[in-house]
Amino acid sequence: MAVAYILLVLFLAVFVAGFILLVLGAINFDLSNSDIPSGVDRPVKLRIIHVFIICTAVVGKILEKIGICSQFSFIRYIQDRMPVGVDPKLLIKNLRFDTVPIRIYQPKVPSASQRRGVMFFHGGGWVLGSLEVYENICRFIARESESVVVSVGYRLAPEHKYPAAYEDCLNATIHFMKNSEHYGVDPANVVVCGDSAGGNLAAAVCQTLAGRSDLPKLRAQILIYPGLQALDFNLPSYQQNRGVPLLYREHAVFYVLQYLNGNLLHMQEVLDGSHIPIDIKLKYRKWVSPDNIPEKFKIRGYKPHVLLDCTPEVFEKVKRFCEPTLCPLLAEDAAIRQLPESFILTCEYDVLRDDGLLYKKRLEDNGVPVTWCHLEDGFHGIICLLDKYVLSFPAAKRGAYNIVSFLKSL
């Protein structure tokens, strides 16, 4: 019995030691491939957050390998554990708009007139993120702008592939617009808002609803470092910020492929730009091109990328990248011209920076008023860290107050 006990202890000790070595090895590998520029807001704090994220991902992968749970399930579980206190200024309810779970934030202070409504679509690469993760930013917007905020818990990939997330956000928005007065909201003053993948969804929903004559027009769209195209991952910002947390260039491709179809077989072709035929690239080059990026954003190192063709087999797997409901930057001018007043937030140290810059130009070229906020020291995902205690960043607060100012101006 004693021998068996000693062997069990030894086995557990070896297992724990091996587990720790695996985690440390993975962390060391990932950190050696990361780049946190000195100009970023609170670089040491960003490094600490990055290490925690890596640890979570590595442990999740180990648990997946031994059959306990999927990596995504583990990461989602950990993300949802962040503590959030009570907000005495807001009435918060969990509801469903048809089959879509939502969380609604309503200011308790009385209002003499109908309020503004904000549909919020969270980020997370269509794979991660939740109502819980985005609790703080939704509370902040509702409280500071005195708006009714509806956060949408859309279905996530890879369990639910494109267009599931888009359809959930669209259906939730339509439901709210048809029933907005029930929540004390002016139906002519509804705004769509989202960050990262949520910004993609907000842009797609806004384009779809702009052509609807049976609903009130959306008042505005707020796009926070949105991902808006999947044709060119070699634009200046993708090259300059390829290893900057919280979103690597490779991760941007990984997430959009998970959303598209969950097939990562041609990930390298997408990174190289050999996933779209040249004739289609040339068709969209007037909208997706480094030539449309102001020169000051190319100073930190940029090399023009050679146009590469692709095989029919590869394009067949990713051809839906050309659909505006997946890549809103590719919408025709006729659709862009119908869009409402817009707010776009970009971050200097973000691979998605140029997606926002390109869309800003498209909107302005088509006569759509744009308010632009650029965080010179910002990085991807910074707004999500708003009011996260010691994990907060001053730049996040600046960006959030710019969003609130825009809402109050409507």
* pLDDT on residue 211: 86
158-170 confidence digits (pLDDT tens): 999 999 999 999 9
pLDDT at 267 over 70: yes
* pLDDT on residue 388: 84
In this prediction, residue 7 has a pLDDT band, given cuts at 50, 70 and 90, of very low
* pLDDT on residue 13: 47
| Residue linked to tokens 């003499």 | 112
Cis before 158 (ω within 30): yes
* pLDDT on residue 389: 82
- The edge-to-edge listing of strands for the beta sheet with 341-349 is 90-97, 100-107, 148-152, 115-121, 185-195, 220-224, 341-349, 370-379
Instruction: Write the DSSP string, 275-337.
Output: SS-HHHHHHHTTTS-GGGS-GGGGTT---PPPP----HHHHHHHGGGG-TTT-GGG--HHHHT
Least confident of 181-185, 293-297, 306-310: 306-310
120-149 confidence digits (pLDDT tens): 999 999 999 999 999 999 999 999 999 999
* Active-site entry in 50, 122, 275, 380: 380
pLDDT at 19 over 70: no
Mean pLDDT calculated for residue range 367-389? 96
Mean pLDDT calculated for residue range 294-321? 95
pLDDT at 88 over 60: yes
Whether the Cβ atoms of residue 276 and residue 380 lie closer than 8 Å to each other: no
Give the pair of three-digit tokens for residue 176.
Answer: 């709210």
* pLDDT on residue 195: 98
* pLDDT on residue 10: 46
Half-sphere exposure of 28 (CA within 13 A, CB side): 6
* Active-site entry in 41, 195, 232, 350: 350
| Cα–Cα distance measured from residue 251 to residue 121, given in angstroms and rounded to the nearest whole number | 20
Q: Other C-beta atoms within 10 Å of 102: how many?
A: 23
CATH class of 90-229+322-409: alpha beta
Mean pLDDT value across the chain = 93
pLDDT at 408 over 80: yes
* Active-site entry in 145, 147, 180, 196: 196
Least confident of 23-27, 248-252, 262-266, 372-376: 23-27
In this prediction, residue 27 has a pLDDT band, given cuts at 50, 70 and 90, of low
Give the pair of three-digit tokens for residue 141.
Answer: 């917007």
- 350 is an active site residue: yes
Mean pLDDT calculated for residue range 382-389? 91
Whether the Cβ atoms of residue 344 and residue 374 lie closer than 8 Å to each other: no
Half-sphere exposure of 187 (CA within 13 A, CB side): 12
pLDDT at 283 over 70: yes
36-68 confidence digits (pLDDT tens): 999 999 999 999 999 999 989 999 999 999 999
In this prediction, residue 391 has a pLDDT band, given cuts at 50, 70 and 90, of confident
* pLDDT on residue 259: 98
- 380 is an active site residue: yes
* pLDDT on residue 17: 46
309-325 confidence digits (pLDDT tens): 999 999 999 999 999 99
In this prediction, residue 179 has a pLDDT band, given cuts at 50, 70 and 90, of very high
* pLDDT on residue 77: 96
Q: For a pLDDT cut of 90, what percent of the chain falls above it?
A: 87
Domain ranges of the chain: 1-80, 90-229+322-409
In this prediction, residue 34 has a pLDDT band, given cuts at 50, 70 and 90, of confident
Helices 43-65 and 2-32 cross at an angle (nearest 10°) of: 130
